[in-house]
C-alpha cells in the first residue's frame, strides 16, 4: 500500500518537474525572442559563433556523412539488386539522406559536438560570475552571450545537414558506381528525375531548420539555468545532449507525418 502510494507520488513529482522545466524554458524562449533581432546589431559575434559551432563541427559531420553514404550504398545495392532495380540506387540514397538521415543524424551529431559545448561554456561563465559581471557592466548577457550562440547554432545546423547529405550521396556513388558497378548515368539521372525541389529538398531543409532552433534553444537554456557548481554543469551538458536528441527524434516523427504522411 505504502509502496504503491510512493510510486504514484514519484510519478506525480516527475510530471510536475517536467511541466515546470517546460514552462521555464517557454518563458526563457520568450525572453530570448525579444533579443533575437537586436543581436544582429553585432554580426561579428554571430559569425564567431557560427565558426565555433558550425565550422568546427565540419570534420565529424563530413566523416559521418561519408560513412552513412557508404553503408546506404552497400545495403541499398543488396536490396535493390534483388528486384533488378539497382539503377535506382542513386535516388534511394539521395532521398534517404535528404529527407531523413541528413537532417536527423547531422542534428544528433551537432547536439553532441556543439550543443554540449555551448551549454558548458555558458554554464562556466555563469559559475565564474562572468554573466553577473556583464549585467553589472550594464551589458545584457542575453544579447551579448545567449543571442549570438543561439543564432550560431541555428544557422549552422541546416548548413551542416546539407553538407552531410552531399557527402553521403558521393559516398553512395563511390560504393555503388565505382565498386559495385551500378551504371553511372542512371545513378545521377534518377536522382535528377525523381527528386522534387519542394517536397524533398525544401522538406528536409525545413526539418533541419526546426532541429537547429530546438537544439540551439535547449543548449543555451540549459547553460543559462545551470546550477553554478561542478555537478550542476555536468548535469546541464548531459541534459542538453539527452533533451536535444529526444526532441530531434520526436519532432522528426511529427514533421514527417505532416510533410510526407498523407
Gap between the Cα atoms of 93 and 95, Å rounded: 6
Stretch that binds other proteins, among 126-134, 156-164, 177-185, 224-232 (CB under 8 A): 126-134
Strands (E), 52-138: none
- The x, y and z cell numbers of residue 156, run together, are 549552422
Which 200-229 positions form the footprint of other proteins (CB under 8 A)? none
Q: How many helical (H) and strand (E) elements, i.e. helices and strands, does the chain have?
A: 12, 0
C-beta of 42 vs 235, nearer to other proteins:
42
Provide the minimum distance between the beta carbon of 219 and other proteins in the complex, in angstroms, as a whole number.
18
Q: Exposed/middle/buried for 2, CB within 10 Å: 0-12, 13-18, 19+?
A: exposed
C-beta of 1 vs 138, nearer to other proteins:
138
Per CB under 8 A, 129 contacts other proteins: yes
Provide the minimum distance between the beta carbon of 115 and other proteins in the complex, in angstroms, as a whole number.
19
Q: Which residues contact 255 (CB under 8 A, 6 or more apart)?
A: 206, 207, 210
Query: Which of 20, 24, 128, 184 is close enough to bind other proteins by CB under 8 A?
Result: 128
C-beta of 3 vs 27, nearer to other proteins:
27
Query: Taking Cα atoms as reference points, which of 49, 53, 256, 33 lies closest to residue 157?
Result: 53
Provide the minimum distance between the beta carbon of 2 and other proteins in the complex, in angstroms, as a whole number.
20
Gap between the Cα atoms of 50 and 223, Å rounded: 18
Provide the minimum distance between the beta carbon of 38 and other proteins in the complex, in angstroms, as a whole number.
13
Binding mask 130-159 for other proteins (x = CB under 8 A): x-xx-xxxxxx---x---------------
Binding site for other proteins (CB under 8 A): 128-130, 132-133, 135-140, 144
Amino acid at each position: 500500500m505504502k509502496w504503491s502510494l510512493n510510486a504514484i507520488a514519484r510519478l506525480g513529482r516527475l510530471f510536475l518537474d517536467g511541466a515546470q522545466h517546460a514552462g521555464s524554458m517557454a518563458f526563457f524562449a520568450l525572453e530570448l525572442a525579444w533579443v533575437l533581432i537586436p543581436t544582429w546589431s553585432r554580426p561579428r559575434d554571430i559569425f564567431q559563433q557560427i565558426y565555433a559551432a558550425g565550422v568546427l563541427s565540419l570534420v565529424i559531420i563530413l566523416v559521418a556523412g561519408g560513412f552513412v553514404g557508404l553503408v546506404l550504398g552497400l545495403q541499398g545495392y543488396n536490396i535493390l539488386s534483388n528486384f533488378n532495380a539497382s539503377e535506382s540506387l542513386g535516388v534511394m540514397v539521395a532521398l534517404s539522406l535528404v529527407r531523413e538521415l541528413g537532417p536527423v543524424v547531422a542534428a544528433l551529431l551537432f547536439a553532441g559536438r556543439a550543443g554540449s559545448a555551448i551549454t558548458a561554456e555558458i554554464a562556466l561563465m555563469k559559475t565564474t560570475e562572468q554573466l553577473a559581471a556583464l549585467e553589472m557592466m550594464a551589458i545584457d548577457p542575453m544579447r551579448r552571450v545567449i543571442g549570438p550562440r543561439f543564432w550560431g547554432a541555428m544557422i549552422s545546423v541546416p548548413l551542416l545537414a546539407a553538407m552531410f547529405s552531399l557527402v553521403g550521396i558521393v559516398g553512395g556513388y563511390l560504393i555503388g558506381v565505382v565498386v559495385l558497378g551500378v551504371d553511372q548515368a542512371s545513378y545521377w539521372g534518377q536522382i535528377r528525375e525523381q527528386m522534387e525541389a519542394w517536397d524533398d529538398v525544401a522538406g528536409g531543409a525545413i526539418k533541419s531548420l526546426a532541429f537547429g532552433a530546438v537544439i540551439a534553444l535547449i543548449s543555451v537554456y540549459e547553460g543559462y539555468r545551470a546550477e553554478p557548481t561542478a555537478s550542476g554543469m555536468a548535469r546541464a551538458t548531459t541534459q542538453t545532449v539527452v533533451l536535444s536528441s529526444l526532441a530531434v527524434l520526436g519532432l522528426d516523427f511529427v514533421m514527417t507525418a505532416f510533410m510526407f504522411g498523407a
